Amino acid sequence: MSQFGPIDHAPAFESRRDVAAPDRLVEGTPAFQTWELDTALAEAGKWGKIRTGIWEATPGTTRSMKGETFEFCHILSGRVEIGEEGGETRSFGAGDSFVLKPGFVGTWKTVETVRKIFVIAS
């Protein structure tokens, strides 16, 4: 098995479909699709699992709480506004990248249907 590979932006396999949990829903009726591409156990540091994939969401606003999770995001298409509780709100679109660090609490507003690459360490 190869230890490296490209990230397919439009996987051919079926996605996992979800909706916002009632306690996280702020506004709208966002629907989510997740194509989990790979999972690996971290061999160093405190992370137990690393996951990568493609995630898509339709417009709406949800409450985001990362807990002990670290997430890197790279926006492929669409537009989002991320607001940190007690802090600023920033907009991101195609080509933008950002991280949500452990302890992040705020809102994730999908303005236009968004598709992103994610890398999550938990």
Query: Could you report the per-residue pLDDT of 57-67, keeping only the tens digit for each?
Result: 999 999 999 99
CB 58 within 8 A of CB 19: no
Q: Is 111 part of any domain?
A: yes
Give 2's pLDDT tier (boundaries 50, 70, 90). confident
Q: In whole angstroms, give the CA distance from residue 36 to residue 119.
A: 10
Length reported for the chain = 122
Q: Report the percent of the chain where pLDDT is more than 70.
A: 93
SS3 56: strand
> Domain range for residue 106?
31-49+88-122
Per the prediction, the chain carries an average pLDDT of 93
Query: Could you report the per-residue pLDDT of 9-24, keeping only the tens digit for each?
Result: 999 999 999 999 999 9
Q: Is 71 part of any domain?
A: no
Q: Is 10 part of any domain?
A: no
Q: Is 60 part of any domain?
A: no
| Beta strands, E only, the chain | 16-19, 25-28, 31-41, 49-57, 60-65, 70-84, 89-93, 97-100, 105-121
Pull the structure tokens for residue 96.
Answer: 């933008």
